[in-house]
Structure 1
C-alpha cells in the first residue's frame, strides 16, 4: 500500500521503506522544537511511583505528546508496528530498528568541476552518510530566531555558513529567509561570499529566489547589493529569472524593484515575452508598457508556455469591450469615464522601493479617510462603479499596447503567431484586435487557417457578426476576392451560412436563434455573386433556400415547440387574471348601498383607482390571451421567425406584464379601503405585492430586450463600422 500524505505539520510524507532518514530528521526537528526529544531519546525516564505526583504527571503528558507526534507521522502499515507501545522512546527505537538503513562504506567521489568555488562541504565528519545531526542545533537556532546561539556555532564551524544543513539541500541563508528574520539574513550575507549566495537547494532555488517569492524587498536588496548575478539566476518553474517569478506570485512591489535592476539583456527573448504576458494576465501594465517600447519584437516572441504576448492578449475574455457585457446605465458610466494615457518613460528609474511598507501606507490612507468618503467608496463597490472604472482602465491600456504591437508586427516576415492570434480573436469575437492588426497590415485580411478559411469564412461559421461587419471596410477589389473565395473543402461563404452548428448558440431560446440564423443567411446571400449561388445549388441539387431549410429543420422544430410552450403557459396565466379581475369588478370592497345599489366608497379617490386599475388589468390580460392564441395557431413558416412571431411574443408579454401591474394596484387599493388607517399592516403588504412585478421583469426583460433590439432597433449587421 502506498504511503499517504497526512494533514500534519510535522512531515510531508508518512514513514515508508525508503524515506526513514528524511522522516526521522523532520520528526526529530519537531520534537526538539517542542522540547520533547529527551523523552524520545530516553535521557528523561519516568519518575518512580513514589516520586512527586507533579513530576509523574508532567512526564506522562510529555511522553503522550511525543508518542502522538510519532504516531501521526506513520502510515497504516508502519503504525501497526507500534500500535500497542505506550512509551515514546520504545516506539522510536522500534521504527529505527525496522526502517533505518544499515551503514555501508561509500566511495569517495571526485569533486564536480561545476561546483568549484561553491564550497558545499558540510564541515561535519562522516558527511558521506548524509547525517545532518551535527547541524541540528544550528538549524533550530536559525528557525526559531536565536541568532546569538547560531553565531556561537558559526564561530566554531565557520564553514557552516555555506553548507547544506537540511536534507532538502538548504543553506543557513535559506533557513533564515524562511524564518523571516531580516537581521539574521543581513548578518549571514556579510559572512558569505558572492559565490555562496548562488548555492541552490535540492529544488533549484537560491535563497534570493525564495526571498523574491516571499516578497521581502529589504532581504532581496541586501543580497543584490552583494551579488547582482542573482538577478539572472534561473529557478523553477520553467527555469525563469526572479523577476518573472515575482510577477507570477503577485509580488508587484518586488517586481517593480527587480525590473529597475534586471539587465535588459535578460529580457530579450522568452523571459521578456513571458513578462509582458504576465502583465496582461495580472492587469499590471507599467512594466510591460516600458518593456514593449524598448523591445517591440517581444510582441511575437514565444514565451515559456509556447505562446506569444499577442496570443496571451487575445485569450483574455475581458481585454476588449466586445467581451464585456454591460447594462444600459453601466454602459453610460463606461462612456463617461476618461482615462489618461500612460507616460512611463522613466519607469526603470522610478521603480525603486520605498522606505515604508506599502501595506502601512495603505493603512495610513485608510485611517485618514473620512466617514463620508468610506461610505461613498462602499456604495461604489455595491453599485459596481469601481468595476466599470477598472474595466475602462484595462481596455484603455490594452488599446495602447495593441496600437504599439500592431506597428511592431507590420514588418515581420514570420507572422505565424500573428495568424494564430487573429483566428483566436475571431473565435472569441474580439473585433477590436482584428481591426487594429489588419488596418496596420492590410495583407492580413487575406490570411487563411489550416482549413483554408479566411477570416470571414471563420466569422460566418462561428456567427461573429461584429467581425463579419469588417468586410465592409475592405476595398471593392479585395471584397470581391473574399466573397468568392473557397476553403480547402470547396466551401463558399454561403455554404457556411446555410449550415448550422449547435456550438454557435449564443442567444436565449431556439426561436431567437432561428431568427438569427435567417438573418445570417439573408445577409450572406445578399453579398455573394450569382455564380456562388449557382455553385451551391448545383452541389446538392437544392436551392440555397431549400438547403437552409433542410439544415435547420431541427432548430425550427425546437423553436416552434418553445414558442408554443411559452404561449400556452402565458395563456393560462392571462386567463386566470381575466377571471379574477372580472369577479373583482362586481365584488367591490366595502359592498354596495342597500338603498341605491351604488358602492359605499364610490366617492373615494382610492376606490376610483381601484376600478380603473381593475379595468386595465382585465382588458390587457384579455389582449394577451388573444395574442398568445394567435401564436398557438400560427403556421410557423420560416419567415415567421424573422419578425411575426417575435413581435407577437413581445406584445403578448408586455400586455401580460401590464395586467399583472394593474392587478397588484387593484389589490393594494382594496387593502387601503378595507384597512383604513392601519398603515403598519398596509405598507408591508403593498411591498409584498410588488414582488410578482419585480420577478417578472427580472426573468423576462432580457428576452424582451434581445427580441426588440434584433427586430426593431437595427439590423444585426451594421455596415457603419465603428472606429476604435
Structure 2
C-alpha cells in the first residue's frame, strides 16, 4: 500500500487494481465561502448554488452526488490486505466528515437542530453521511415539483386540450358541480386519479378536502378505474384521501373512505404520519375517536400493534395528551398501555388537567406492574422519568418513583441518572430529592459519567437557554449559576472539587470557560443599570440641595429664619428634603462603586447584587422623599387659605411614587429574593421515604 497526503487530497492504492483519491481541503472554512445561512425554503436556491460551487471547486462533489460512496468490503486476494481496506474506509470517512461539517456550518441554528433530529430518527446515532444530510435538506426545503401530468408542452392541440380539461376538473370539483365533473370524465381524456394541483392532489383529494356532500363524493369514488386501491392514490406528500379527511376533521368522509378501503387507517405519508396522528395534531379529537373505533375493528393485530408501538406510538400519545383529551388517552392505552408513561409531559396548565394527568399516570403504572415482570419495568419508565427530570416535573417523578423505586437510577444514553440530569438542566425540584434519599445519596457524591465528570463538573456547565431566559438580566443569571455551583459544591466530597475529568479540566475551569460570555454580559448589564441610576441620583441631589438653600417663602429680614418655620408643612418639607439628599448621595456612591468594581465571577453572588440593592432602595427612598418635600412646598405656597387643595396635591404625590414602585421596585424585590431570600434548594416534602 502506498499513500500520500497533502492539504488538498489523499491518494490510496489498495492492491494492484484499486486506487482511490479523496480530497481533503481542511484549510477551508465553509462559513467564509458561503454568504447565505439556510434557514428556510426561501434561501434554499441561493444556498444550494453556493454549496455546489464549494464542493465542485474542491473536488468534493462526489460525496453528495453518489459518486464517492462509502467503501464496501471487497474480496481480499494477492497483495490486498485487511489494513488497506480499513485505511480506505478511514480516509473516506474523514473526507465525508468534512463535507458534513461544511453543510452543517452553513445552516442556521434552528435548521441544524431540525435536520439533525430528522437524521437521528431515521438512522442510528451519527451513522449518516454527507449525502444523507444533503438529501434530507433537499427533501425539507426544495421547492415542490409540479407533477408530470401538469408538465405539458403546449405545442399540440391535444396537449392544450388536456391542460384545459385538468383545470376545468379542478374548478368543478372545488365547486361541487357534479354535472361538469361527469361531462369531463365521460370524454375519457383525463381520469379522476390524475394529479390536478402543484402538490399532486387528484380530484378525489380536492373533493375530500372541500367535501361538497356525501352524494358527490360517492359518485366521484365510483369513477375510480378498476383494480385501483384507494390506499395507492396519494399526492406529493404521500397523503391518502383519509389523510386529507383527517386534516379536515370530516367524520362522514372518514367513514365513507374506511368502508371502501380499511387499509388507509394504517397508511403513512412521507413524514411517517398516520391519519389518526394528523387528526390529533390538528385538534380534531372527534375525528380521532371515529378513526380509533375503526382501528379497533381491524383484524391485522400485527399492523395494529405497530401503530401504537415505538416512536410512532410515543408521538401519538404525546399529541393526544397535548390536546387535553384524556378520553382518547384511555382508548389508546387500551391498545398498548406502555405508552401511557408519556403523560408526564403534562404540567400544571390547570388544576383539573393536572389531576387527570396524575390519575392517568397512576393507572398506567399499575398496569405495567400487573402485566410485566419486574425485570422489564425499566423499559417503560426510563425515558418518561428522564424527560420529567429535564422539565422539573417533580410531581410526576414522585409518582413514578412511588410505583418503581429503582427508577431513580434511570440513565440516559450519556450515562446520566435523574440527579445528574437535573443538575445539567437546572431542575431544582428534582435535585432536592437528594435531601429525602437514604444513604444511597452518597453514591451521587462521587458518581462520574463516561467523560469522568463528577456532579460539580455538570453543575459547572452553562444552563440551557430555556432555563436562563426565565431570569431577567444577565447579572441575575450568572448569580443563579453561581448558586447552583455552590450548592453542588457543598454536597459533593471535598476531593471532588479539584478532580479533573477526562479532558483534564477541573469544575472551576469548566465554569469559567462556559460562563465567560455570560460574565461579560452581566458586567455590561450592571454597568448600564448603574450608569442610568447614577444620572437620576445626581439630578435629585442637585434639586434637593438647591431646595434646602432656597426654602419656600424665603427668610425673615430680622434673624434670617424661614418665614414658615412654625408650620407643620414646613417641618415635613425640611425632613423630607434632608432624607432625600442623604439617601440620594448614598445611592450615588453605591452606583459609582459598581462602575469601578472588578466584576469577578464570585462578585456576582453577593457583593455586586448587594450594592445594587442598596443603591436602588436608597434611590427609591430619595425619590419618594423628594416628591413629599415638593408636595409640602405646594401646600405652603398655595394651600394656606384653601385646605381643599391638599386633596389634589396628595393624589398627584401618589402618582409618581406609585409609578416608581410599579416599574422599578420589582427589580429590587427580585434582587433581594435572589440574594437573600429563601433558597431554591432544600427539603422537598414527599409522602414516603425515597430510595
TM-score by length of 1: 0.57
Which range is displaced more, 466-475 or 562-571?
Answer: 562-571
Q: Pick one of 150, 155, 163 that aligns with 1:22.
A: 150
CA contact (8 A) 2:446 2:492 kept: yes
CA contact (8 A) 1:246 1:255 kept: yes
State the distance in 1 between where 2:503 and 2:278 align: 58
| Offset, 1:646 | 3.2
Question: Structure 2 matches for 1:309-708, cutoff 5 A?
Answer: 309=342, 314=345, 319-320=346-347, 390-407=349-366, 411=374, 413=376, 415=378, 418-476=381-439, 478-497=440-459, 499=460, 501=462, 506=468, 507-508=471-472, 512-513=476-477, 515-529=479-493, 532=496, 536=499, 566-567=529-530, 570-589=533-552, 591=554, 610-628=573-591, 642-668=605-631, 670=633, 690=655, 694=659, 697-699=662-664, 701-702=666-667, 704-708=668-672
Which range is displaced more, 651-660 or 553-562?
Answer: 553-562
State the distance in 2 between where 1:576 and 1:470 align: 51
Instruction: Tell me the residue number matched to 1:255.
Output: 288
* Secondary structure at the counterpart of residue 662 of structure 1: helix
State the distance in 2 between where 1:539 and 1:165 align: 62
State the distance in 1 between where 2:288 and 2:679 align: 48
CA contact (8 A) 2:239 2:270 kept: no
| Offset, 1:654 | 1.0
| Offset, 1:441 | 2.0
| Offset, 1:586 | 3.8
State the distance in 1 between where 2:168 and 2:598 align: 90
| Offset, 1:708 | 2.1
| Offset, 1:244 | 2.0
| Offset, 1:670 | 4.9
Q: Residues 258, 458 of structure 1: CA spacing in aligned structure 2 closer, same or farther, 3 A cutoff?
A: closer
Instruction: Tell me the residue number matched to 2:309.
Output: 269
Tell me whether 1:720 sits opposite 2:684 in the alignment: yes
Q: CA RMSD in A?
A: 5.4
Q: Residues 687, 191 of structure 1: CA spacing in aligned structure 2 closer, same or farther, 3 A cutoff?
A: farther
Equivalenced residues, count: 526
| Offset, 1:137 | 6.8
Q: Residues 463, 167 of structure 1: CA spacing in aligned structure 2 closer, same or farther, 3 A cutoff?
A: closer
* Unpaired stretches in structure 2, ≥5 consecutive residues: 1-42, 45-141
Instruction: Tell me the residue number matched to 2:154.
Output: 96
| Offset, 1:274 | 3.5
CA contact (8 A) 2:446 2:496 kept: yes
State the distance in 1 between where 2:484 and 2:587 align: 31
CA contact (8 A) 2:451 2:501 kept: no
Tell me whether 1:286 sits opposite 2:319 in the alignment: no
Tell me whether 1:245 sits opposite 2:207 in the alignment: no
State the distance in 1 between where 2:527 and 2:174 align: 73
State the distance in 2 between where 1:633 and 1:525 align: 30
Q: Residues 691, 285 of structure 1: CA spacing in aligned structure 2 closer, same or farther, 3 A cutoff?
A: farther
Instruction: Tell me the residue number matched to 2:246.
Output: 212
Q: 1:410-446 CA deviation, whole Å, 9 max, x = no partner?
A: 6462846854554444444444444333343222322
Q: 1:474-529 CA deviation, whole Å, 9 max, x = no partner?
A: 221x21222222323333334445x4547688345565455445544443343334
State the distance in 1 between where 2:253 and 2:361 align: 37
Instruction: Tell me the residue number matched to 2:193.
Output: 164
* Secondary structure at the counterpart of residue 236 of structure 1: coil
State the distance in 1 between where 2:490 and 2:244 align: 63
Q: 1:326-351 CA deviation, whole Å, 9 max, x = no partner?
A: xxxxxxxxxxxxxxxxxxxxxxxxxx
CA contact (8 A) 1:231 1:243 kept: no
Q: 1:663-704 CA deviation, whole Å, 9 max, x = no partner?
A: 234445556676779999x979976994686367435624x3
* Unpaired stretches in structure 1, ≥5 consecutive residues: 6-12, 25-94, 104-128, 301-308, 322-389
Question: Structure 2 matches for 1:40-189, cutoff 5 A?
Answer: 96-97=154-155, 100=156, 131=162, 141-148=172-179, 163-164=192-193, 167=196, 173-182=204-213, 184-185=215-216, 188=219
Q: Residues 221, 530 of structure 1: CA spacing in aligned structure 2 closer, same or farther, 3 A cutoff?
A: closer
| Offset, 1:263 | 1.5
State the distance in 1 between where 2:217 and 2:426 align: 61
Instruction: Tell me the residue number matched to 1:78.
Output: none
CA contact (8 A) 1:537 1:543 kept: yes
State the distance in 2 between where 1:553 and 1:244 align: 44
Q: Residues 672, 23 of structure 1: CA spacing in aligned structure 2 closer, same or farther, 3 A cutoff?
A: farther
Q: 1:604-638 CA deviation, whole Å, 9 max, x = no partner?
A: 77666555543432233233335456667889888
State the distance in 2 between where 1:147 and 1:558 align: 67
Instruction: Tell me the residue number matched to 1:232.
Output: 265
Q: Residues 623, 214 of structure 1: CA spacing in aligned structure 2 closer, same or farther, 3 A cutoff?
A: same
Instruction: Tell me the residue number matched to 1:335.
Output: none
**Whose Rg is larger?**
1
CA contact (8 A) 1:483 1:528 kept: yes
State the distance in 2 between where 1:707 and 1:419 align: 38
CA contact (8 A) 1:161 1:188 kept: no
State the distance in 1 between where 2:424 and 2:201 align: 57
| Offset, 1:656 | 0.7
Q: 1:197-238 CA deviation, whole Å, 9 max, x = no partner?
A: 8365341544444333222334444555x5472662525244
Q: Residues 440, 601 of structure 1: CA spacing in aligned structure 2 closer, same or farther, 3 A cutoff?
A: same
| Offset, 1:601 | 6.8
State the distance in 2 between where 1:482 and 1:576 align: 55
TM-score by length of 2: 0.59
Q: Pick one of 295, 301, 321 that aligns with 2:336.
A: 295
* Secondary structure at the counterpart of residue 649 of structure 1: helix
Q: Residues 407, 657 of structure 1: CA spacing in aligned structure 2 closer, same or farther, 3 A cutoff?
A: farther
Q: Residues 19, 451 of structure 1: CA spacing in aligned structure 2 closer, same or farther, 3 A cutoff?
A: closer
Q: Residues 693, 230 of structure 1: CA spacing in aligned structure 2 closer, same or farther, 3 A cutoff?
A: same
CA contact (8 A) 1:613 1:666 kept: yes
State the distance in 2 between where 1:463 and 1:210 align: 42
State the distance in 2 between where 1:269 and 1:525 align: 42
CA contact (8 A) 1:161 1:191 kept: no
* Secondary structure at the counterpart of residue 469 of structure 1: helix
CA contact (8 A) 1:620 1:656 kept: yes
